Amino acid sequence: MMILLMGPQGCGKGTQGEKLSGFLNIPLITVGDLLRDLSQTHPRYVELHSVMDKGELAPFDLVAQLIQEKITALNCGSNYILDGWARSLHNLNFFDPNPDLVLVINISRQESVRRVSGRRTCETDGKVYNIYTLPKEEVAKCAGNLVQREDDTEDAVNRRLDIYQTETLPVIEYFKKRGTKVIEIDGEQTPEDVFKSVTANL
């Protein structure tokens, strides 16, 4: 089964993708991880990070290439979960995953900004904390310095949400018209309740 995860920034796609990957025993491919893990020696590294630091989308051809390389490396055929692709109809010209299911996790703009702008990354171990949703004692366990990524500032988040409204929502409508099964879930529940809603609709 090929599942395409969609939803605005901070909706919990990563969390639900990991849970679903374990539940279905199929790999999760996350575009954000592919981009962040890109080697500094890659010929397009500087171009990519210049774009991402402004909160803009990465070059489609590069992302499509990285996804297909990962699918090949995993040898998973058409059995995987993809998070972070098909953010515009134009994406599908570079790579159409032909999903069996499109899973959309919805949250409000206000909640999206709150969640993403609250993210902090530990400079020591790379662990991500959220100053708004994690208990203070959990955040205090971090032994290193907590920093905010440049693409997690409120301005950068709002720019990406504008892109989501104008570019990504039409993709969801496109899949509906194509006859692909599309499930929309309320992402403002607890992660456990979101997952229950997801599995109940598979």
Please report, in range form, the residues annotated as the binding site for AMP.
36, 149, 160
Continuous H helices in 59-182:
60-74, 91-94, 109-117, 136-140, 154-163, 169-178
CA 11-175-110 angle, 5° bins: 25
128 membership: H or E segment, kind and range: strand 128-130
Looking only at the bridges linking them, the beta strands covering 2-6 and 80-83 are parallel
Q: 156 CB contacts (<8 Å, ≥6 apart)?
A: 54, 55, 150
* Contact status, residue 16 vs residue 105, Cβ threshold 8 Å: yes
Shortest CA distance to 84 belongs to which of 27, 136, 35?
A: 35
Annotated binding residues for ATP, as ranges? Answer: 10-15, 119, 128-129, 189
CA–CA separation, 141 and 135 (whole Å): 10
CA–CA separation, 67 and 65 (whole Å): 6
Annotated binding residues, as ranges? Answer: 10-15, 36, 119, 128-129, 149, 160, 189
Backbone CA torsion sign across 59, 62, 65, 66: negative
